[in-house]
Amino acid sequence: MEVILAKGNITERVTKERLQDDLNRLEEFTDPSLPYTRRAFSSHYYDARKWLYQQFQEAGLKTSVDPAGNLIGRLGPSIGPSLCIGSHIDTVEAGGRFDGIVGVLAALEVARCLQDAGIELSYPLEIIDFVCEEPTIVNLSPLGSRIMSGDVTSEMVNIASTPFGESLPGAIERLGGNPAKISEVKRDIGDILGYLELHIEQGPVLEKAGLGLGVVTVVAAPCRAAVSLVGIADHAGATAMSDRRDALAGAAELTLAVEKIVSSPDIVQESVGTVGSLKVSPNMVNIIPGRVDMTVEVRSTVPEALEWAREEIETTLNNLAARRGLEAKIEWLQIEEPVPVPLDMQNIIAQAANDVGVPKMSLASRASHDAAKLAPIAPVGMLFIPCMDGRSHCPEEWADINDIITGTKVLGQALLRLDEYLSTKL
């Protein structure tokens, strides 16, 4: 599929200084004692949103906050199916300055460039900063995109709360949303004609290959479980090793087992597993741990690999609990399926990379994104730029401004190509 552009291009209008200024300004909205922390619904997040709202307005966008708390800037008619580009500006605790942020600021820059060039698309354009992409609200995040796709309902929102001691409806309302109308956020198939998201890779593949752009073929799925192990808390000196029912020792065994399971030759190479949270009780230096609550996560681009890993983890947990005299429970809180990116969207991004003249490759996304949550209701496409050493979700996360500029140019050209493709197809 080759699309001949009738509207020209906007690559020369992407402004390095403007993008760099936006990045510098947004990174200031952080917890100074724990950079770079801007968790959704925190005070720093609210301040950043106010700044971004103003930038949307100054760019000439019709700016609003939908009932779920998503920030949306629109170009073109106020009604009708739209093209969408965007990402998120919230971070994990002690996260980075580029994850999600690059996608939102690049989308804003593309909107500016379209207006600078006097280009009118065939369809309305929405720039979206999705609320709470990171797991600040456990089991509901990515919140904004899941509400938009209908995967999270108002009933689920109404019983949730934030880590900051506020009800989720109250937090959304403070952000400018309207929790009573959350059901109105849901988009039907056809409402979004296509969604494009620029993101840092959050892995080392592009950097190692010496390439400036990645065309995403599939987005890996996460499966997350809550695990509890209960033994007997007892004196650390007076209890013989043979008499112990140590919950933490069992948790340690399970942690190593997860590592072994996802590294097994029986599972595809792209699978990964993580134990990211442990709560030990009573957590005293001279007491044998009587209880551990922990999380287990596995990710893969292959559904069968995820199913096999879940079964192996459950079997391993039951066996070690029986052997160690522990009570064990596991609850899978989130079971998802990998999301393939439509070939048409891959081709459009690849052609846009050719327009810009940047070397590219196809690759899988091992992290999940808002794009994956919109896939049930709209064609989605993702493009990656390199990040230093593949680091992400840490203060050391870094993307070079020249790579960001390149990615923004490709995003703009992909948008023009998508608009042209749809105008000839529909």
pLDDT, tens only, 74-119: 999 999 999 999 999 999 999 999 999 999 999 999 999 999 999 9
Distance CA 34, CA 32 (A): 5
Whether the bond into 289 is cis, omega within 30 of 0: no
Distances (CA, A) of 299 to 197, 270, 308, 368: 21, 8, 12, 9
Q: What is the mean pLDDT of the chain?
A: 96
- Residue 412 is encoded by which pair of tokens? 């703009």
CATH number for the domain running over 221-335: 3.30.70.360
331-343: average pLDDT: 96
Q: Which CATH architecture has domain 11-220+338-425?
A: 3-Layer(aba) Sandwich (3.40)
- Residue 366 is encoded by which pair of tokens? 């091992």
- Residue 134 is encoded by which pair of tokens? 């990171």
User: Residue 3 pLDDT more than 60?
Assistant: no
Categorize the per-residue pLDDT at 413 as very low, low, confident or very high, splitting at 50, 70 and 90.
very high
- C-alpha closest to that of 259 among 303, 226, 296, 314: 296
Categorize the per-residue pLDDT at 9 as very low, low, confident or very high, splitting at 50, 70 and 90.
confident
H/E element holding 255?
helix 247-262
**Residue whose entry in the numeric block shows the structure tokens 């808002």:** 370
pLDDT attached to residue 369: 97
Report the amino acid identity of residue 310: R
- Pairing relationship of beta strands 71-75 and 62-65 according to DSSP bridges: antiparallel
pLDDT attached to residue 184: 98
**Residue whose entry in the numeric block shows the structure tokens 């390149």:** 406
pLDDT attached to residue 266: 81
Burial of 64 (0-12, 13-18, 19+ CB in 10 A): middle
Residue spans of the domains in the chain: they are 11-220+338-425, 221-335
Inter-residue contact 334 to 404 (CB < 8 Å): no
pLDDT attached to residue 5: 63
pLDDT attached to residue 138: 78
- Pairing relationship of beta strands 291-300 and 213-219 according to DSSP bridges: unpaired
- C-alpha closest to that of 402 among 212, 254, 241, 192: 212
- Residue 190 is encoded by which pair of tokens? 């056809």
Inter-residue contact 275 to 296 (CB < 8 Å): yes
Percent of the chain predicted with pLDDT > 70: 98
- Residue 234 is encoded by which pair of tokens? 């007892």
Distance CA 7, CA 117 (A): 10
Distances (CA, A) of 110 to 6, 87, 409: 17, 13, 8
Whether the bond into 36 is cis, omega within 30 of 0: yes
329-344: average pLDDT: 96
pLDDT tens readout for residues 181-237? 999 999 999 999 999 999 999 999 999 999 999 999 999 999 999 999 999 999 999
Query: What three-state secondary structure class fits 221?
Result: strand
326-338: average pLDDT: 96
Inter-residue contact 200 to 387 (CB < 8 Å): yes
